[in-house]
Homo-oligomer: A and B are copies of this chain.
């Protein structure tokens, strides 16, 4: 793919996305990205004030990618919110498993900390989808917590699953390799059990 005249800024981000997929989250030094993009090590500074800012831009691309995969799902015809939630959750876990480097980058502590890079906001659209699905999937119970809270808890659960699974902690500790039963347990728990 030739991207010689789309502007260096976009090229740097694209190079970073490529690099993190090929070499993992540790190969993303500022100078290496510049090298791969064919520019000098000082060039990125014109477009990103700091190394972390460039990393954040790359991570944002990861959020966009994840968002696209979820949207793709929603446009697929199936309208049952529970099924959609299940599929969405699987996508999240698959994304983490299949794009390990990017996933690690997206949730690096130093990038999220204090929201210096404005990276938190990148997950908002995804979360809105989640809230909507939760609201539709849950049996209307007037006394219960609001949908946003349930969605928050579910998101936390999903994210925790993805993380612990990536580190293989879950396998070590539960003896089960697959995330599916844990995922089903989580969904049933938050949404109430149903008949599959």
Contact = CB atoms under 8 A, between A and B. Distances in A.
Interface of A: 25-26, 104, 107-110, 112-113, 115, 120-121, 123-124, 127, 145, 148-153, 155-161, 163-164, 166-170, 172-176, 181-182, 184-186, 189-190
B170 A152 contact: yes
* Count of chain copies: 2
Can you list the 8 inter-chain pairs with the closest CB atoms, starting with the nearest? Answer: A160-B160, A156-B160, A189-B189, A112-B167, A157-B157, A104-B109, A152-B174, A159-B160
A110 to B, nearest CB: 6
Given A160-B160, A161-B156, A145 B181 contact: yes
A167 B170 CA distance: 23
A168 B127 contact: no
Contact of A150 (B123, B155, B170, B185): B185
B153 A185 contact: yes
Nearest to A103: B109
B164 A156 contact: yes
Contacts of A164: 152, 155-156, 159
B145 A185 contact: yes
Contact of A156 (B110, B124, B172, B186): B186
Nearest to A182: B153
A148 to B, nearest CB: 5
Contacts of A115: 167-168
Nearest to A175: B148
Contact of A159 (B26, B163, B176): B163
B155 A156 contact: no
Nearest to A158: B160
B156 A120 contact: no
Contacts of A168: 115, 120
